[in-house]
Amino acid sequence: MGEGLGYLFQAVLSFLTLSALFNIAWATLLGIVVGMLPGLTATLGVALLTTLTFTMPSGDAILVLICMYVGAIYGGSRSAILLNIPGTPANAATALDGNPLARQGRAGKAMGIATAGSFLGSMIGMVLLASIAPGLAEAALRFQSYEFFWLAIFGIVIAGRLTALDDPLKGWIAGFLGLLVAMVGSEGIYSYARFSYGNTDFSGGLGLLPVLVGMFGFTEILFVMFQPAASAVSGALDSVIPKVREVLKYWQTIIRSGVIGTLMGLIPGVGEDMGAWVSYAAARGSSKEKHLFGKGSVEGLIAAETGNNAAVPGALIPVLTLAVPGSAPAAVLLAALFIHGIRPGPLIMIESPSFVYEVTAMVFMATLAMGFFGILLTKPLLTVLRIPPTRLMPIIMVLCTVGSFAIASRMFDVWVMLAFGIIGFVLRRAGFPLAPLILGVVLGPILDSNLRRGLLLSDGSITPFIMRPISAALWIAILITVLLGIPAVQQALGRLFKRRNAISSSSSDA
Amino acid sequence: MPRFEAIGGSTLNAPGLVPGLLGGIIALLGGIMLVRFLLAKRRGTVGASAAVTTAVAPGEQGPPDTLTSGTGPDIAVDGTGGLQAPSNTRVMVALVLGVVFGTILIGRMPFWLAVFVFVFTSIVYNERTSLKTRSGAIRVLLIAGAIAGATGFAVPFVFERIFLVTLP
């Protein structure tokens, strides 16, 4: 623990140089702007910035990307509050109470509360990142091929379930489609080309970043062009500096939302949106002011914003310790780590023990910058919301094209981006969530190589896949998740609980 | 390419094992969806459950579904660049322009020119409602030209000169 604090302190000190502070400032500010603009998500922001940071030293590049990530998740609250359109999917819950507050003439207060919530959420997540990640990395050292195979399936099943609560089937189909997409190209054991049909571009596989840029860039552009635009709530702005007493009044909600957000971030592929929604639901469930939720509740707003920003460091925990992303932006960050020669995974605490704390310090610095700019530049930043989407979207399209091309300097990646943009649009229109698909693309190689390696090691026996303790825990969790997603099982459980409640209430009456 | 047996492979590590399993699972899930659809059709409830899937906590109000409902937020709409109503035509035009830019324009002309043509055309199309009057048309053409010119200059400058990234 003491050693960890030492690393953390050293890392924070190393960011107090002029160049690091400059990088933190511009990347966080750019992240806030990206988050504010409907149609630009944190995932796209991190993906496009990844191409710009190719030539940077690895430490600077990761710092810039984390600042973009933290800034974008926070920035989305501005458009959620003022436009009633979440800037990123993570801010959807923010709109429920943030926009009513703005309509009541308290837009400044809503933005101040959102800033405080995001700041505290990031800080709670950061503390949990520093405390959970080393232990999880140590536990993950016991993982073998069997466990990694189940972990990949678990990620798909849980992400499919939680990102499509009203129809998990669509979430699972999206996830397995993502795994299938990852099968294109040379496989990991013999470098045998699959689904290439003699084409050298296909033999190289479909890159994660072009697929991501297509699904979170081109798809978003098509959606923005489809939907009607909205203008900001206008009028004079009240004070944006939150009152400490008003924030601390909800200290229990803040801590609960911070922990929930971090845990949601930790679950593979689930990410910030669920961090916000589950925190919001928990806050509503335990609130004394339930009637205010959805009508401008400060507690609801603070829960949503604490939850989504706490999920950012939460999503970095599996990235660092298991090389499995906790969210879509974290998937890009994982790809960026590999590009810059950093190998996250169970060995991280052995090979480079200071790295986890360096990332924690990066989150800390990004959070400070986010709070600083969030309060200081509130009014100037609002001009961003006045940019008509019709003028912005063509520029975004150019950036998506350049971003896809720049990764490997091949036109094939631009075509992949276009194809997946169209596929993403069709899937989203049909109600399929895209996050499990992206997670599938990341987890595909892990699933493939570990299943085949595991089968070879066990000489074709599936016993180790079933009987090893961690494997057993994972497949049982998968089974429970799948069963709970079946409507007939849900109804049967509902009837069972109702009957039990009726029996217990009648026995207490007696 | 040599056959897989020739490079020492066995059934247990065959490259087609996982794609085959995944294909089977997707077919199974797709089959369940089809059966569910047919059952709903027989009961006459098709469409009732076709609500768009969004990440919503159990029992909670969902996110404002401005993406697919087409109703949009309940606030004044101005300065929105002509996006007043949901439109499939706009999506199709954006899609065609994007595909033309990515597959035809790039590589056949200097990158800055391809960017200029794409951005200029997109903005002029999206703001075509303003072209009806002479002053409106001049304003839109000037704005589109300025934005397209600035993008055509700034993107190559920032990517190639500052961040040393290769452009198409």
State both tokens at A487.
């409507």
For B17, the closest chain A residue by CA position comes to A452
Query: Looking at residue A228, what is its pLDDT?
Result: 65
Report the gap between the CA of A510 and the closest CA in chain B (Å).
32
For A5, A6, A15, A291, the CA distances from A2, given in Å and listed in that order, are: 5, 6, 20, 46
| Residues 6+ positions from A468 with CB-CB distance below 8 Å | A144, A146, A147
Cα–Cα dist A5/A317, whole Å: 17
* Contact between B163 and A55 (Cβ < 8 Å): yes
* Contact between A400 and A213 (Cβ < 8 Å): yes
pLDDT at position B71 over 60: no
Q: Which residue has the higher pLDDT, A166 or B16?
A: B16
State both tokens at B46.
């098709």
pLDDT at position B90 over 60: yes
Query: Looking at residue A243, what is its pLDDT?
Result: 81
Cα–Cα dist A387/A391, whole Å: 7
Which of A 253-282 lie inside 8 A of B, CB atoms?
Answer: 273-274, 277-278, 280-281
What is the enclosing helix (H) or strand (E) of A98? Answer: helix A92-103
Reported ipTM: 0.81
**What residues of B are in contact with residue A405 (Cβ under 8 Å)?**
166-168
For A410, the closest chain B residue by CA position comes to B168
Mutation target among A397, A450, A497 for the B interface, most CBs of B within 10 A? A397
Minimum-distance CB partner of B159 among A176, A221, A402:
A402
Three-class secondary structure of residue A310 per DSSP: helix
Query: Looking at residue A258, what is its pLDDT?
Result: 95
Cα–Cα dist A281/A277, whole Å: 6
B82–A222 C-beta distance less than 8 A: no
What is the enclosing helix (H) or strand (E) of A193? Answer: strand A193-194
DSSP label at residue A175: H
Encode pLDDT of A397-452 as tens digits.
Answer: 998 998 888 878 889 999 999 999 999 999 999 999 988 998 899 899 999 999 99
**What residues of A are in contact with residue B127 (Cβ under 8 Å)?**
390
What are the sequence ranges of the domains in chain B?
4-43, 88-162
Cα–Cα dist A15/A6, whole Å: 15
Confidence tier at B52 by pLDDT (50, 70, 90): very low
Minimum-distance CB partner of B56 among A166, A386, A411:
A166
**What residues of B are in contact with residue A455 (Cβ under 8 Å)?**
12-13
Cα–Cα dist A370/A222, whole Å: 30
Mean pLDDT of A498-506: 77
**What residues of A are in contact with residue B119 (Cβ under 8 Å)?**
394-395, 398
B80–A389 C-beta distance less than 8 A: yes
Minimum-distance CB partner of A411 among B7, B53, B107:
B107
Report the gap between the CA of B67 and the closest CA in chain A (Å).
6
Encode pLDDT of B95-146 as tens digits.
Answer: 999 999 999 999 889 999 999 999 999 999 988 888 888 899 999 999 999 9
> Helices H, strands E: what count in chain B?
4, 0
Mutation target among B11, B83, B123 for the A interface, most CBs of A within 10 A? B83
Encode pLDDT of A289-318 as tens digits.
Answer: 888 898 889 999 999 999 999 999 999 999
Q: Is A323 exposed, middle or buried (0-12, 13-18, 19+ CB in 10 A)?
A: buried
B56–A277 C-beta distance less than 8 A: yes
Query: Looking at residue A450, what is its pLDDT?
Result: 92
Q: Which residue has the higher pLDDT, B168 or A293?
A: A293
For B76, the closest chain A residue by CA position comes to A231
Cα–Cα dist A212/A334, whole Å: 13
Provide the Cα torsion B15, A331, A410, A31; round to 10°: 170
